[in-house]
Amino acid sequence: MIFGTLKLIVWMAGVAVIAYFALPYVGYRVNLDYWQERKAACEERLQTCQRDLIKTGIEGAKEKCDFRCVDAKSLIEKIKK
């Protein structure tokens, strides 16, 4: 069980490293600044949801709050020429 988990982690790390170095050859790059750029927007969204939760309760927060702050399309972006 542990061996299988370690093997999976090593394979995933290997694929990530290969993808990181192969992406520039096909015209893409990994946006390493994405987390710093999105942090403020996500924190603001969380503050708004906290206020809604206090005012309207759980049902109001469920209707208005969108906790999906990560946009997968922005993590890997096309290199502009």
Query: Any residues with CB less than 8 A from the CB of 64 and at least 6 apart, and which?
Result: 48, 49, 52, 56
Q: Residue 15 — pLDDT band, cuts 50, 70, 90?
A: very high
pTM: 0.53
pLDDT digits (tens, 9 = 90+) for 33-81: 888 888 888 888 888 888 877 777 766 666 667 777 777 778 888 888 7
Q: Which residue has the tokens 């708004």?
A: 48
Question: Is the CB of residue 31 less than 8 Å from the CB of residue 74?
Answer: yes
Q: Quick one: pLDDT at residue 51? A: 80
The per-residue pLDDT for 58 is 67
The count of C-alpha atoms lying within 13 angstroms of the C-alpha of 72, restricted to the half-sphere facing its C-beta, is: 0
How many contiguous H segments (helices) and E segments (strands) does the chain have?
Answer: 3, 2
